[in-house]
Amino acid sequence: MKEEKKITKKATTAVLRADGTTSTMHYEVGFIPSEEYGFFEYYDEESGGENIHAEGGLWFDTEIDVDDDGQWVCNMKCVDYDGVYELNDTVIELCKEMNLDMSEIE
């Protein structure tokens, strides 16, 4: 059985909370190109995710185009997500760093 290729990207940031304290946030985004599917998770370090935690799925459509040089270009455009009302900016940025098109979500 062939193993699915999975691409992941992680980040850790400091976030200023409404009460004036700072939380360390851990983010992970993953993408499985052959399934046009991805996922995300983020949580605060201080409570181990008890205070702040979210996870969900990301769905992509493959768009194939030809560039000015006549080369085929494959673009993975995020068309839907679940798990949260609004997708976190850091999750969007991590997706962009993996060359995923987030224009419909932003």
Q: How confident is the model over 21-72, as pLDDT tens digits?
A: 999 999 999 999 888 999 999 999 999 999 999 999 999 998 888 888 888 8
Q: How do the domains of the chain map onto residue ranges?
A: 7-97
The CA distances from residue 79 to 88, 89, 93, 100, in Å, are: 15, 16, 16, 11
| Residue 80: strand pairing partners | 59
- Provide the 10 A C-beta neighbour count for residue 58: 25
Q: How confident is the model over 59-74, as pLDDT tens digits?
A: 999 888 888 888 887 7
The reported pTM is 0.86
Q: How far apart are the first and last CA of the chain?
A: 37
Return the pLDDT at 2: 62
| Residue 78: strand pairing partners | 60
- By the 10 Å C-beta count (0-12 exposed, 13-18 middle, 19+ buried), 31 is classed as buried
Averaged pLDDT, 84-96: 95
